[in-house]
Copies of this chain bind each other. A is one copy, B any other.
Amino acid sequence: MSSVTIDDINPKVLKCEYAVRGEIVNLAQRLQQDLQENPGSHPFNEILYCNIGNPQSLNQRPITFFREVLALCDHPAILDKSETQGLFSADAIRRATEILDQIPGRATGAYSHSQGIKGLRDTISAGIEARDNFPADPNDIFLTDGASPGVHMMMQLLLSSENNGILCPIPQYPLYSASITLHGGTLVPYYLDEATGWGLEMSELKKQLEDAKSKGINVKALVVINPGNPTGQVLSEDNQRDIVEFCKSEGLVLLADEVYQGNVYVPEKRFHSFKKVARSMGYGETDIPVVSFQSVSKGYHGECGKRGGYMEVTGFRPEIREQIYKLASVNLCANISGQILASLVMCPPKPGDESYDSYNAEKEDVLSSLARRAKTLEDGFNSLEGITCNKAEGAMYLFPQLHLPQKAIEAAEAAKSAPDLFYARRLLDATGVVVVPGSGFRQVPGTWHFRCTILPPEDKIPAVVNRLTEFHKAFMDEFRD
């Protein structure tokens, strides 16, 4: 057998966990294969992946305009063929031509500048300016293969020992815990308050920072996920101001995960970028380091497979910027299709453009349907005995709490399983619905949750609610104290 044993492996890798694609998903993949090979072998005929924010895997269609532009940039040879006029919208042809003109030699197959194609960064910063009403600088944009590599890059930059800490919300998106573990730092948790709709309390932030300091941890940065993942809350602007003030006074880098900025479902809430909030408080470029992460994977477009995204890096000294640039350079550049898509997302068709009406209809279809799905699932969960579920104001998830009977907890212990994992496994076995146990996101000790996306196709939502309800009732009947 191979000479490499588990003792040869980097212990940070061994320690790292990533529940979104963890044990439950592996089990689901085995069940799916089983269903293919032995139809009828389970009490359901399909696996419904509610574990991950992956809209197009659940039949969401891509935005036509975006795909037209991508196809034309992939094969520019057809741009001036007459058939192309019949197949593609006029503004997609125009946009593709503009983008190609911004790429030296129109070479979509060449490595770009390490931060991404300059013309696309110009477009993105113009989109940020239009969103925020404050200036944005194309030299602050680093295009990345989705948001994850940007997060890894910042963790790699800031963390060099377990005495270096990063304040992270709990519950958190497990990319953060995984990345902090891989880079050898310490996750300093601050707990969101479930009772106030996953509120972010300043007193909790201060308490946890002091606590970390007293343990000798040098806290470098604060992660905020807004809209929240897995929690779905949208922060108020007041709350954001407090957070900015806190980072300013404590000298923390503000790492703002803003990948769900396009996913807000309630009329009383709006997305505000942290950079905009900081600027509106009078803090300029030299006052506070803020990094905003954006992705093409989320929003109404949900282009996860394209791996596009960017980080807007502001408020760092030039010598630190140089280090970030070097890290970007080692990986050469983000994929060009993802770069193009990031520019389209930040600068979609405008009223008057040939595609605008169809684009806008596609967009509104998705967003209004997501809002309805979120509400139906939320109501479904809240109607169940022993489940309480906050509102999904934004993002793509619900994070219901399971108030489990003692007997269920004991059964889980007997099965050497955390109670939420036990529940999620039973749920999968009975219904084919894949959710992620709350422990993957961390949670207040002694509480149990799971994350469920709001992404199943709308016509399947009633069936999903029925399956969940039926399972949950049987589960409670089995374990009720």
Chain A residues with a Cβ under 8 A of chain B: 1-6, 8-14, 16, 18, 20-22, 52, 54-59, 62, 64, 67-68, 70-72, 74-75, 77-78, 81, 83-84, 86-87, 104-105, 107-112, 114, 145-146, 148-149, 152, 156-160, 175, 178-179, 182-183, 220, 251-253, 286-289, 297, 301-307, 315-317, 319-320, 323, 326-327, 329-338
**A14 — nearest CB in chain B belongs to which residue?**
B323
Q: Contact between B16 and A326 (Cβ–Cβ < 8 Å)?
A: yes
Query: Lowest 8 CB-CB distances: which A-B pairs, in order?
Result: A3-B251, A71-B75, A57-B110, A307-B335, A305-B336, A83-B83, A56-B109, A21-B329
Q: Could you list some 20 contacts between A and B, CB below 8 A?
A: A5-B317, A9-B158, A10-B156, A10-B158, A10-B159, A12-B160, A14-B323, A16-B330, A20-B329, A81-B86, A145-B307, A145-B335, A146-B331, A146-B332, A156-B182, A175-B330, A182-B330, A306-B337, A307-B332, A307-B333
- Determine the distance from Cα of A267 to Cα of B470 in the docked complex, in whole angstroms: 70
Determine how close the nearest CB of chain B comes to the CB of A338; give it in whole angstroms: 6
Residues on the B chain within 8 Å of A317, using CB: 1-2, 4-6
Residues on the B chain within 8 Å of A107, using CB: 56-57, 59, 305
Residues on the B chain within 8 Å of A152, using CB: 331
Q: Contact between B16 and A108 (Cβ–Cβ < 8 Å)?
A: no
Determine how close the nearest CB of chain B comes to the CB of A201; give it in whole angstroms: 24
Q: Contact between B305 and A110 (Cβ–Cβ < 8 Å)?
A: yes
Q: Which residue, of A13, A86, A156, A329, has the highest number of chain B Cβ atoms within 10 A?
A: A13
Residues on the B chain within 8 Å of A12, using CB: 160
- Determine the distance from Cα of A336 to Cα of B334 in the docked complex, in whole angstroms: 13
Q: Contact between B109 and A302 (Cβ–Cβ < 8 Å)?
A: yes
Q: Contact between A111 and B2 (Cβ–Cβ < 8 Å)?
A: no
Determine how close the nearest CB of chain B comes to the CB of A75; give it in whole angstroms: 4
**A251 — nearest CB in chain B belongs to which residue?**
B3
Q: Contact between A335 and B323 (Cβ–Cβ < 8 Å)?
A: no
Contact of A332 among B5, B251, B304 (CB under 8 A): B304
State how many copies of this chain the complex holds.
2
Residues on the B chain within 8 Å of A146, using CB: 331-332
Determine how close the nearest CB of chain B comes to the CB of A398; give it in whole angstroms: 20
Determine how close the nearest CB of chain B comes to the CB of A292; give it in whole angstroms: 15
- Determine the distance from Cα of A81 to Cα of B74 in the docked complex, in whole angstroms: 19
A75-B68, A320-B4 known; A13 vs B327 contact (CB < 8 Å): yes
Q: Contact between B74 and A11 (Cβ–Cβ < 8 Å)?
A: no
Q: Contact between B319 and A6 (Cβ–Cβ < 8 Å)?
A: yes
- Determine the distance from Cα of A104 to Cα of B57 in the docked complex, in whole angstroms: 7
Residues on the B chain within 8 Å of A70, using CB: 74-75
Residues on the B chain within 8 Å of A289, using CB: 2-4
A109-B62, A145-B145 known; A334 vs B316 contact (CB < 8 Å): no
Q: Contact between A332 and B6 (Cβ–Cβ < 8 Å)?
A: no
- Determine the distance from Cα of A109 to Cα of B104 in the docked complex, in whole angstroms: 27
Q: Contact between B332 and A1 (Cβ–Cβ < 8 Å)?
A: no
- Determine the distance from Cα of A304 to Cα of B337 in the docked complex, in whole angstroms: 12
